[in-house]
Structure 1
Amino acid sequence: MTIAAACLGFPHEAQHGDVAAAVEDYRAGRISAADLIDLGRRARAAAWQRQRQAGIEVIPCNDFSFAGQLLDTSIMLGAVPERFRAAGEPGSLDLYVAMAGGFLEGEGAALPTVERGPGRARWFDSDHQRIVPEVSADQHFSLSTSNVLDAFNQAKALGYHCRPVILGPVTFLHLARSREPDVEPLSLLHRLLPVYAELLLQLKLAGADWVQIDEPVLVLDSSPAVRAALRTTYWALAGRGAPKIMLASYFGAIGDNLDAALGLPVAGLHLDLVAAPGQLAQVMRGGRLDLVLSLGVVDGRDGEPAHLSAILDQLEPLVGKVTVQIAPSCSLAHAPVEEGLPAGARLVAAMQRLDEVATLRTALRSGRGRVQDYLQANAAVVAARRAASGVTDQPISNQIGESANSDATSRSSPLWKRIAPVD
């Protein structure tokens, strides 16, 4: 299959109540560990079902998190600061919740209150907060949880062949901080790579043929040390019985790191073409026709509909030249919630983006005639929103991913699809 519809990540909190609220309930002792684990299992299953129903063929797993990808990765790798170790066994919910923010005193959880949680910072240029990983000079890494494998096996048992998502080792160390000022976290890479190799081998043995490794560090102005770390990492991890690697970057252009990325022995590369549409031509000039290109042409962080006909104008010349996956620009966990919308609005926005992805896939495979009604409705909505924002004296741009910058909303549009909960 040379054209497929893909998703990099999906919001899980809407269909089974607020995930963050459930974590708070567990922290306060109002629900059990079994209750929280069951909520996660149901939320994952519902997300996979929704994506399949939307026509998505490359469905992610291990994109669900109670408190964020960085915290999940820290605990998975055994990067637990000493002050948290009394909160619970490695990989336990008690340890996880303690690192996510500590336990409340006197509310049912017979566990120590952590004096100070990890620092927090913005996740790149998004509005999401991340918990900063902490490492030390004597840091020992080990595969301390089976969460990635468990998610893949849960999906497989339900009939979904998913692509596991993990945060890349270079981005993890780049975002980490050391408690010793003279320790550079990237210097610990040689200790970390065997853990990633072990994880990839486990996934391969379980039946995973692809894995998505997120390295958003690629969109930063990386130093020679980061580029060297990327080369070391992917020459060590690719091949040798591992699943094929889809290297994913988002929230910007790969830019000066593009040559380094194209030189890595990975099987696929995801590009955020909403943030940087021009990098597609750069990649094509790079000559890696063997790469599967995941093209993030639908804005994963914007509630506005994409201009699908304009996107098709840009993508149709690629048909037959390279293998492509049509995808949102980033994980749909970043989909916005507009003020005044009911609970579940992020889920609705995410499903609209997936409708657009599936429509683009169908048009590229079978021609625009197969989805002409959808394309006409989409063009009308985009034009109306541009008019509402006062942009009436110029045609709609044909830049990939551009949409109207309007606060106006149109709930009556057939593109704004509301969906029933999945039990």
Structure 2
Amino acid sequence: MLKHNLGFPRIGKGRELKIACEKYWSNNIDYLTLFNVGKKIRKENWDIQIKSNLDIIPCNDFSFYDHVLDLSILIGVVPESYLIPKFKNIIDLYFSMARGYQDNKFDIKAMEMTKWFNTNYHYIVPEFTKNQKFFLYSKKIFYEIEELKNILNSYDKIKPVLIGPVSYLFLGKEKDTSFNKMDLIDNIVTIYIKIIDILISKNIKWVQLDEPILSLDLSDREKTSIKYAYKKIYKHFHNSDTKILLTSYFDGISDNLNIFNEFYKYIDAIHIDLVEDPNQLDKVLSFIKESKTILSLGIINGRNIWKNLYHNSVKKIEKSISSIGEDRVMIAPNCSLLHVPIDLEDEKYIHYDIKNKMSFAKQKIYELNDLEKIIKGDKNILFNNSSTINFKSNIIYNKEIQKRSYYSKDLKRKNIFSIRQKKQRKIFNLPLFPTTTIGSFPQTKEIRITRNKFIRKQLCKKEYEKKIKKYILDVIKKQENIGLDVLVHGEFERNDMVEFFSEKLNGMLSTNNGWVQSYGSRCVKPPIIYGDISRNKELTVDWICYAQSKTKKLVKGMLTGPVTILKWSFVRDDQSLYKTSYQIAWAIRDEVLSLEKYGIKIIQIDEPALREGLPLKKKNWKSYFDWSIKSFHIASSGVKDETQIHTHMCYSEFNDIIKEISDLDADVITIESSRSNMELLKIFSIFSYPNQIGPGIYDIHSPRIPTEKEIFNLIKKACNFLPKENIWINPDCGLKTRTWNEAVESIKNMVKAAKIARIKLI
């Protein structure tokens, strides 16, 4: 029985990658220094996995920005516009694709970015042209193999990791409608064969090809492409000593087993996710029993931070060994450990009853070792694990909270949107194309130092609040000078839109160093939901009311929605998700009503994770929407008609869920649509979406400053899809990660463009 891992976090224990990348982007270090930081992180990651006694160690799972973008560079999928500036080195080309590029000669937008399946990780979307040719453009994968070989003194344990050819095509988009991206399957398989040929020449024993689309509802074309790809790969390599491990994760493959009728014999090993779909094991075992295919069991949860319950995992391992033999069984986490923090040992202040139930990436690797020892007869490990996990702590459960959250009626606004809209327009008196931002403004080093000093008790509460009020007053004045119509308070008191609430709600906690990559250099610390959730004091009222007191313009109250708090946290695994979601929703409802009570007329309840939380298979969608939409209604429906509820969603494909988005019944929804050049709005037009929409008019994830003309053209295009009177003008997300110059200049251009639109687009 072999132990292996699908991938390891790449940010470094102290977020060294983030720091190095941002220094490189600001020209404070050269590319050799940046590369050395990456090399150091890789070595630390490999050392952890070597010491844990893994039999096979992943390679090429490290990335300076995004592993999908890495593959695009590796096989030459580089749009022509990024080749025009003639960058001095490949890393600058790479970063320009991710972040855009702007100087005196060139102004190139960043490539489109979207969510990696149903996670909070974002990837750079590949762009394909008709008859796209693929060729080796980068040698990163081969350099990293040599690095690991020098540590191990052998290639035997090295397992290069690549996104599989069909999933890669699936994740990309066609540049025009004259072809289907699956038309490129023969071309792309050819380059994969070339890469694997090189790996075989190095005596690599294992190659991991990730095909997570096997967990989706696949079209006939996609199924045919999978069959074709792996039959061709098998035909080329079946006589070699190198084994192909085909991996799938985030859900089960039972619904797609019919694909394997023709090609399971063309793969040496297959990995299945038994965390998300434990019920698929019997079907898969029955299916491969008569073959020689090795089965990799994904039994350690790579997306949550709770310890593995060894009793359940051992049963799956023993059943598999009994069915197909120990030499055909591998064990691993269900997916890459990219989605969890690195080391629990760095957390010093978590209550023992909770910490004792937790496991980060390093600990999860060692759990594989424990499972192997149990299989070999060490029952003490099994007993200790069960007693730890099953221990019931009184800090987790609260009967009163549970009783309130089980309230079953779906609460909704008193009147329909058209009635509310008339009342709100009369009170607000906003112009056509009202301008606003999503919420946060730049979090400068000075602001972060202020917060950290307060947390470390180096700054008293009175002095801290005085400084935060100064930041708020300054941003109110900046927004007034720019000419925004609806203002925000800037969120300077908040470290993160979810973590901030976790520090104030009962049943949640924040970590000190539990960082996880969201995209590029952007890292977040997902809170931990360990118990029943409630609000026993106001969370945001003081800061919002202070901001409103300093201006005659409307200031939005800024809250994070229940589904986003749930999805962007490590959620407790001892009760159903909907129960936890309802608990959060009731806590947010209390805060919404407090804001309204104190005179805040616009309240934004952000739900950027609503689409992300959607199950991968459509058969499970209805159940999810039943409780997720109800959660939003609980949080938002208690206000009067005159109070305007906004929500924000980013990087979401709305085509399949437009009705459910409408069912949220938010007065205004703001969305990301700049990277798609407003194409995202087509579905809102087809559906005749009745409420107001703020299509993100420029991309905040890029440092480039959009021009006034560019923004005006996007507003004009938005008017082709939406009624003018229902359009708001805003960036596509918060401005937290931008510099003040980038933020101010971009918003100035946005406001100017909106004013021009009020004249030219009437």
In structure 2, the residue matched to 1:221 is 217
**Structure 2: any 5+ residue segments left out of the alignment?**
351-357, 400-571, 581-762
Give the 3-state SS of the residue equivalent to 1:180 in structure 2.
coil
Tell me the distance in 2 between the aligned counterparts of 1:384 and 1:377: 11
Of the three residues 353, 359, 364, the one matched with 1:353 is 364
| CA displacement 1:346-405 (0-9 Å, x = unmatched) | x971012112111112222x1133xx1x3333212211268754499xxxxxxxxx9535
Tell me the distance in 2 between the aligned counterparts of 1:324 and 1:61: 21
Give runs of aligned pairs for residues 12-411 of structure 1, distance below 5 A.
Answer: 12-15=10-13, 17-88=15-86, 92-103=90-101, 114-159=107-152, 161-241=157-237, 243-261=242-260, 263-264=263-264, 265-288=266-289, 289-319=291-321, 321-322=324-325, 323-336=328-341, 349-364=360-375, 366-369=376-379, 372=380, 374-384=381-391, 389-390=396-397, 403-404=573-574
Tell me the distance in 2 between the aligned counterparts of 1:94 and 1:250: 32
| Aligned alpha-carbon RMSD (Å) | 2.8
Asked whether the 8 Å contact 1:83–1:114 carries over to 2, the reply is no
Asked whether the 8 Å contact 1:12–1:43 carries over to 2, the reply is yes
Q: 201-210 or 257-266: which moved more?
A: 257-266
Tell me the distance in 1 between the aligned counterparts of 2:273 and 2:333: 8
Q: Supply the AA of the counterpart residue of 2:313.
A: I
Q: By how many angstroms is 1:239 displaced?
A: 4.9
Q: Supply the AA of the counterpart residue of 1:381.
A: T
Tell me the distance in 2 between the aligned counterparts of 1:315 and 1:386: 30
Tell me which of the two structures has the higher relative contact order, counting C-alpha pairs closer than 8 angstroms and 6 or more residues apart: 1
Q: Name the CA shift for 1:404/1:57 in 2 (closer, same or farther; >3 Å).
A: farther
Q: Name the CA shift for 1:267/1:303 in 2 (closer, same or farther; >3 Å).
A: same
**TM-score scaled by length of structure 1:** 0.84
Q: Name the CA shift for 1:92/1:279 in 2 (closer, same or farther; >3 Å).
A: same
Q: Supply the AA of the counterpart residue of 1:376.
A: F
Tell me the distance in 2 between the aligned counterparts of 1:216 and 1:257: 12
Asked whether the 8 Å contact 1:27–1:103 carries over to 2, the reply is no
Percent identical residues: 28
Tell me the distance in 1 between the aligned counterparts of 2:124 and 2:224: 26
| CA displacement 1:179-201 (0-9 Å, x = unmatched) | 11232111111211111110000
Q: By how many angstroms is 1:313 displaced?
A: 2.4
In structure 2, the residue matched to 1:421 is none
Q: Name the CA shift for 1:207/1:359 in 2 (closer, same or farther; >3 Å).
A: same
Tell me the distance in 2 between the aligned counterparts of 1:200 and 1:130: 24
Q: By how many angstroms is 1:114 displaced?
A: 4.5
| CA displacement 1:202-235 (0-9 Å, x = unmatched) | 0000111110000001111001111110111011
Q: By how many angstroms is 1:306 displaced?
A: 1.3
Q: 305-314 or 9-18: which moved more?
A: 9-18
**TM-score scaled by length of structure 2:** 0.48
Q: Name the CA shift for 1:56/1:337 in 2 (closer, same or farther; >3 Å).
A: closer
Asked whether the 8 Å contact 1:22–1:36 carries over to 2, the reply is yes
Asked whether the 8 Å contact 1:210–1:244 carries over to 2, the reply is yes
Q: Name the CA shift for 1:101/1:312 in 2 (closer, same or farther; >3 Å).
A: same
Q: 138-147 or 117-126: which moved more?
A: 138-147
Asked whether the 8 Å contact 1:269–1:291 carries over to 2, the reply is yes
Give the 3-state SS of the residue equivalent to 1:312 in structure 2.
helix
In structure 2, the residue matched to 1:410 is none
Q: Name the CA shift for 1:338/1:119 in 2 (closer, same or farther; >3 Å).
A: farther
Asked whether the 8 Å contact 1:76–1:91 carries over to 2, the reply is no
Q: 141-150 or 309-318: which moved more?
A: 309-318
Tell me the distance in 2 between the aligned counterparts of 1:14 and 1:274: 26
Q: By how many angstroms is 1:145 displaced?
A: 0.9
In structure 1, the residue matched to 2:3 is 5
Q: Name the CA shift for 1:276/1:153 in 2 (closer, same or farther; >3 Å).
A: same
| CA displacement 1:245-272 (0-9 Å, x = unmatched) | 1000000011321231363300000000
Q: Name the CA shift for 1:104/1:367 in 2 (closer, same or farther; >3 Å).
A: farther
Q: 45-54 or 85-94: which moved more?
A: 85-94
Tell me the distance in 1 between the aligned counterparts of 2:228 and 2:574: 42
Tell me the distance in 2 between the aligned counterparts of 1:405 and 1:165: 34
Q: Name the CA shift for 1:304/1:387 in 2 (closer, same or farther; >3 Å).
A: farther
Q: Supply the AA of the counterpart residue of 1:352.
A: Q
Give the 3-state SS of the residue equivalent to 2:255 in structure 1.
helix
| CA displacement 1:30-59 (0-9 Å, x = unmatched) | 111101111111111111110011121111
Tell me the distance in 1 between the aligned counterparts of 2:158 and 2:100: 33
Give the 3-state SS of the residue equivalent to 2:360 in structure 1.
helix
Q: Supply the AA of the counterpart residue of 2:299.
A: V
Q: Name the CA shift for 1:291/1:304 in 2 (closer, same or farther; >3 Å).
A: same
Give the 3-state SS of the residue equivalent to 2:252 in structure 1.
coil
Asked whether the 8 Å contact 2:13–2:343 carries over to 1, the reply is no
Q: Name the CA shift for 1:88/1:40 in 2 (closer, same or farther; >3 Å).
A: farther
Q: Name the CA shift for 1:54/1:45 in 2 (closer, same or farther; >3 Å).
A: same
